[in-house]
């Protein structure tokens, strides 16, 4: 393998891998990121500051400065719980057969490894979408079935949640994007009409204040049958993290983690972190909320799921800085003390996506391995900035 490794090969290979991230990690680029060149460890927790609401007041000139005003600084904790790698090996025979000194086989394979790791990050981000309480649209029909009007409800919900108007996006499925491209509403979009190359680039542009992107990793949320004929079984106070519920005399209640609901006493949209729970008629149970109650609820208040909230693909709309993505360089390779090190390694951080990658060369007996690794964690840090948008496509 000596012919395939020299002091200039590693940075050249790693630079090529970082370029791939710019193509594949579109979602990650728009998250709030805490990226450090320092080594990290699996299980490490990192706090990310989140802006809190500010009050205003009338200013009255006076001889002395007013008293200090306390601010409720908010910090959300994200755990680094993903340590992912992708590797391949080459034997000494491979080195001769592929003429590695003059071949692009290693850089190309590393690029494929980077592509897979970028998708892993994307999928980890999507895996948190059931922690988004805000909801708009319908899970029973295609969002772009006949028009773009379904996005008006998404715009309204984002405004109600005080999501900043700047940097709003909509992430659709591949099928949703294909359907939108065929709509007259999109074809006649003045923004696209003024850009002759828009349709050659298959660009959807900005619709209802949201830049439209697509992602292949969107998955559907398998919702329960919902909270039909369900009631609060006991009063709940502001700050309670759980509520007791009761199924009505008709039918039963089936709830899955990620299901969203409101109550007649508190119109805030919550989601439940409760694992699957099924209640027969008149049976009672307890569900855990994503955050403490923001208003009191009373005995026999009704519990309902949002209109048309059913099993369906859940697009994401809003400002993706509501996600917190923490990334660190994987720590030392953990060789046994006193034994030879596993092999040379190098870490680089892409200045566009902010993603750090580590490339390690692992020599063996008449063979060698190349490994690309990444260390990260992701969570929702500001749910006001995000909503789910239902669609069946």
State the burial class of residue 381 (Cβ atoms within 10 Å of its Cβ: 0-12, 13-18, 19+): buried
How large is the average pLDDT for residues 16-23? 72
Mean pLDDT taken over the chain: 78
Domain assignment present for residue 192? The answer is yes
Q: Kindly report the backbone phi and psi dihedral angles of residue 202, in degrees, each rounded to the nearest multiple of 5, phi listed first.
A: 55, 45
Q: Tell which of 304, 331, 361 closes a domain.
A: 304
Q: Same domain for 160 and 294? A: no
| Listed range (2-6, 205-209, 381-385) with the worst mean pLDDT | 2-6
Q: Same domain for 332 and 260? A: no
Q: Same domain for 257 and 206? A: no
CATH number, residue 283? 2.40.30
pLDDT band at 305 (very low <50, low <70, confident <90, very high): confident
pLDDT for the residue 317: 92
d(CA 180, CA 148): 8
| Listed range (32-36, 293-297, 320-324) with the worst mean pLDDT | 32-36
Residue 319, pLDDT above cutoff 90: yes
pLDDT for the residue 2: 38
Q: Same domain for 135 and 266? A: no
pLDDT for the residue 5: 43
pLDDT in tens, 139-169: 566 788 788 888 888 899 899 888 988 889 9
Residue 336, pLDDT above cutoff 60: no
Domain residues for 253?
A: 230-304
| Listed range (100-109, 188-197, 319-328) with the worst mean pLDDT | 188-197
Domain assignment present for residue 58? The answer is no
pLDDT for the residue 313: 67
Q: Same domain for 137 and 267? A: no
pLDDT in tens, 121-136: 888 988 888 888 888 8
Q: Kindly report the backbone phi and psi dihedral angles of residue 21, in degrees, each rounded to the nearest multiple of 5, phi listed first.
A: -60, -35
pLDDT for the residue 158: 93
pLDDT for the residue 221: 72
pLDDT in tens, 39-88: 778 888 888 888 777 788 888 899 998 888 777 777 888 999 999 988 87
Core vs surface per residue 231-256: b (16+ CB within 10 A) or e: bbbeebeeeeeebbbbbbeeebbbbb
Domain assignment present for residue 60? The answer is no
Q: Same domain for 29 and 173? A: yes
Residue 306, pLDDT above cutoff 70: no
State the burial class of residue 166 (Cβ atoms within 10 Å of its Cβ: 0-12, 13-18, 19+): exposed
| Residue tagged 């659709």 (tokens) | 172
Q: Same domain for 194 and 324? A: yes
Q: Tell which of 245, 276, 304 closes a domain.
A: 304
Q: Same domain for 85 and 161? A: yes
How large is the average pLDDT for residues 359-371? 78
The pairing of strands 312-318 and 356-363 is unpaired
Q: Same domain for 148 and 208? A: yes
Asked whether 387 and 317 are in contact (CB, 8 A), the reply is yes
Q: What percent of the chain has a predicted confidence (pLDDT) above 90?
A: 7
pLDDT for the residue 6: 43
Residue 179, pLDDT above cutoff 80: yes
Distances (CA, A) of 302 to 211, 256, 264: 37, 18, 5
Domain assignment present for residue 209? The answer is yes
Angle at 295 between CA 291 and CA 301, to 5 degrees: 105
d(CA 336, CA 341): 8
Domain assignment present for residue 67? The answer is no
Domain assignment present for residue 311? The answer is no
* Domain total in the chain: 2
DSSP 87-149: EEEEEHHHHHHTTGGG--HHHHHHHHHHHHHHHHHHHHHHTTGGG---EEE-TTS-TTSS-ST
d(CA 392, CA 220): 9
d(CA 146, CA 392): 13
Q: Tell which of 279, 304, 329 closes a domain.
A: 304
Q: Same domain for 120 and 28? A: yes
Helix (H) / strand (E) containing 390: strand 386-391
pLDDT in tens, 234-278: 888 888 989 898 888 776 678 888 888 888 877 788 878 777 888
How large is the average pLDDT for residues 294-323? 80
Q: Same domain for 377 and 234? A: no
Q: Kindly report the backbone phi and psi dihedral angles of residue 126, in degrees, each rounded to the nearest multiple of 5, phi listed first.
A: -60, -30
Domain assignment present for residue 28? The answer is yes
Domain assignment present for residue 59? The answer is no
Q: How many CB atoms lie within 10 A of CB 134?
A: 25
Asked whether 203 and 192 are in contact (CB, 8 A), the reply is yes
Closest CA to 357 of 32, 23, 126, 111: 111
Q: Same domain for 111 and 203? A: yes
d(CA 343, CA 361): 5
d(CA 353, CA 376): 13
Distances (CA, A) of 216 to 3, 19, 128, 134, 222: 39, 19, 16, 22, 18
């Amino acid at each position: 393998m000596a012919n395939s490794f020299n002091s200039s090969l590693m940075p050249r290979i790693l630079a090529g891998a970082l370029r791939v991230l710019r193509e594949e990690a579109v979602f990650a680029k728009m998250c709030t990121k805490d990226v450090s060149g320092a080594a990290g460890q699996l299980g490490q927790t990192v706090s990310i500051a989140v802006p809190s609401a500010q009050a205003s007041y009338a200013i009255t000139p006076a001889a002395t400065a007013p008293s200090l005003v306390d601010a409720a600084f908010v910090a959300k904790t994200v755990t680094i719980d993903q340590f992912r790698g992708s590797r391949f090996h080459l034997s000494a025979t491979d080195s001769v057969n592929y003429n590695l000194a003059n071949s692009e086989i290693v850089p190309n394979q590393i690029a494929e490894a980077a592509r897979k790791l970028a998708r892993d990050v994307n999928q980890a981000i999507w895996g948190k979408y059931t922690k988004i309480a805000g909801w708009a649209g319908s899970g029973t029909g295609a969002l772009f079935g006949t028009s773009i009007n379904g996005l008006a409800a998404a715009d309204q919900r984002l405004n109600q949640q005080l999501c900043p108007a700047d940097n709003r996006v909509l992430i659709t499925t591949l099928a949703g994007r294909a359907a939108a491209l065929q709509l007259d509403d999109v074809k006649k979009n003045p923004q696209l009409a003024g850009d002759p190359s828009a349709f050659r680039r298959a660009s959807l542009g900005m619709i209802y204040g949201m830049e439209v992107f697509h992602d292949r990793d969107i998955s559907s949320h398998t919702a329960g049958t919902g909270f039909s004929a369900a009631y609060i079984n006991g009063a709940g106070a502001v700050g309670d993290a759980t509520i007791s519920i009761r199924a009505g005399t008709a039918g039963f209640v089936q709830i899955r983690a990620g299901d969203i609901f409101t109550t007649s006493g508190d119109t805030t949209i919550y989601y439940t972190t409760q694992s699957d729970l099924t209640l027969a008629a008149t049976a009672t149970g307890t569900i855990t909320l994503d955050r403490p109650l923001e208003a009191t609820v009373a005995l026999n208040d009704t519990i309902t799921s949002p209109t048309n909230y059913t099993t369906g693909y859940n697009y994401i709309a809003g400002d993706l800085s509501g996600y917190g993505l923490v990334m660190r360089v994987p720590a030392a390779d953990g060789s046994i003390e006193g034994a030879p090190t596993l092999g040379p390694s190098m870490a680089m951080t892409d200045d566009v996506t902010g993603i750090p990658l580590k490339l390690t060369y692992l020599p063996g007996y008449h063979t060698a391995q190349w490994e690309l690794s990444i260390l990260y964690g992701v969570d929702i840090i500001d749910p006001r900035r995000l909503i789910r948008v239902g669609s069946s496509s």
